[in-house]
């Protein structure tokens, strides 16, 4: 059990602190089996990864910043995902023309239930990592830097994920070209669409955390206002494995060398910033 202290309120969450870690490890172990399966077994693995990843995001947000943040992440990401995906399906904006296959099951406004869960798996870790890498940015610029960084991570994650799920037959593109060099199944418009989606979603998450996050006492200081917080490890593990581990799987097992290379290339700026963030603070003034 853990207690989360908000200003003037103390709320007990019936969640063990180890739960997000257990879920994150389950994501990694399940993802390892993806390239080793096919057919119905691979569909089950895909659903399991997404469900577990979404659970990591919700429980981690709730335990690190309070139940209001956890519920807000669940509700906010789901609503934005369904609305933007429904817009994309009906108009082709902002991603390009695409359609989902029946293999993804039940839908809402034409959007399979799996899709907003995948957004949940991706959105919170992207915001958390952006909060970490921008922690030393000057306060007046930090929120903007955090939003831009989170939108970049959100879109970069999809560069790895989308070709894999097109290969699996979960959706298809009406006009897949032109795409990024080495990726001929996903159009460039999709990357633009995900960047735009990130620029819509991440300011909402930023505002949500600022308004709802608890401020637990201790040496870590306040977790509100977009600061990194204890308990951010599980979503970062999921993000790291699903992007870099996914790139390895694409190169070694799935026959997707283009997306593997792009996953590695797009991770370089993040790794550089993370390395720089370990330097003494005076380097950032």
Domain that holds residue 127: 15-272
- The answer as to whether 10 is a domain residue is no
Q: At what angle do helices 233-240 and 39-65 cross, to 10 degrees?
A: 150
- The answer as to whether 9 is a domain residue is no
pLDDT digits (tens, 9 = 90+) for 59-79: 999 999 999 999 999 999 999
pTM: 0.89
- The answer as to whether 187 is a domain residue is yes
- The answer as to whether 5 is a domain residue is no
The Cα 92–Cα 110 span in angstroms is 13
- The answer as to whether 1 is a domain residue is no
- The answer as to whether 279 is a domain residue is no
- The answer as to whether 71 is a domain residue is yes
pLDDT digits (tens, 9 = 90+) for 173-205: 999 999 999 999 999 999 999 999 999 999 999
pLDDT at residue 225, as a whole number: 61
> Are the CB atoms for 244 and 259 separated by under 8 Å?
no
pLDDT at residue 113, as a whole number: 95
- The answer as to whether 106 is a domain residue is yes
pLDDT digits (tens, 9 = 90+) for 145-181: 999 999 999 999 999 999 999 999 999 999 999 999 9
Beta bridge partner(s), residue 13: 2
User: Long-range contacts made by residues 20-23, C-beta under 8 angstroms, separation at least 24?
Assistant: 20/56, 20/59, 20/60, 20/63, 20/231, 20/233, 20/234, 20/235, 21/233, 21/234, 21/237, 23/52, 23/55, 23/56, 23/59, 23/234
pLDDT digits (tens, 9 = 90+) for 209-241: 999 998 543 334 445 566 677 789 999 999 999
Count of domains forming the chain: 1
């Amino acid at each position: 059990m853990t207690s989360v202290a908000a200003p003037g309120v103390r709320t007990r969450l019936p969640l063990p602190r180890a739960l997000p870690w257990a879920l994150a490890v389950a994501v990694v172990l399940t993802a390892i089996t993806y390239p080793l399966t096919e057919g119905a077994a691979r569909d089950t693995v895909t659903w399991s990864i997404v469900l577990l990843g979404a659970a990591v995001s919700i429980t981690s947000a709730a335990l690190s910043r309070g139940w209001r943040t956890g519920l807000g992440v669940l509700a906010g990401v789901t609503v934005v995902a369904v609305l933007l995906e429904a817009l994309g399906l009906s108009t082709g904006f902002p991603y390009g023309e695409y359609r989902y296959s029946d293999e993804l099951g039940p839908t809402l406004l034409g959007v399979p239930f799996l899709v907003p869960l995948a957004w949940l798996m991706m959105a919170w870790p992207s915001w958390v990592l952006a909060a970490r890498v921008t922690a030393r940015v000057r306060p007046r610029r930090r929120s903007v830097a955090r939003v831009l960084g989170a939108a970049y991570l959100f879109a970069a994650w999809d560069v790895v994920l989308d070709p894999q799920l097109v290969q699996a037959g979960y959706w298809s593109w009406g006009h897949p070209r032109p795409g990024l060099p080495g990726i001929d199944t996903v159009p460039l418009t999709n990357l633009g669409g995900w960047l735009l989606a990130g620029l819509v979603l991440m300011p909402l998450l930023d505002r949500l955390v600022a308004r709802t996050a608890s401020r637990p006492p201790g040496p870590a200081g306040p977790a509100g206002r977009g600061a990194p917080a204890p308990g951010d490890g599980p979503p970062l593990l999921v993000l790291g494995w699903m992007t870099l581990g996914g790139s390895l799987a694409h190169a070694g097992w799935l026959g997707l060398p283009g997306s593997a290379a792009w996953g590695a290339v797009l991770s370089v700026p993040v790794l550089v910033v993370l390395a720089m963030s370990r330097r003494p603070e005076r380097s950032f003034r």
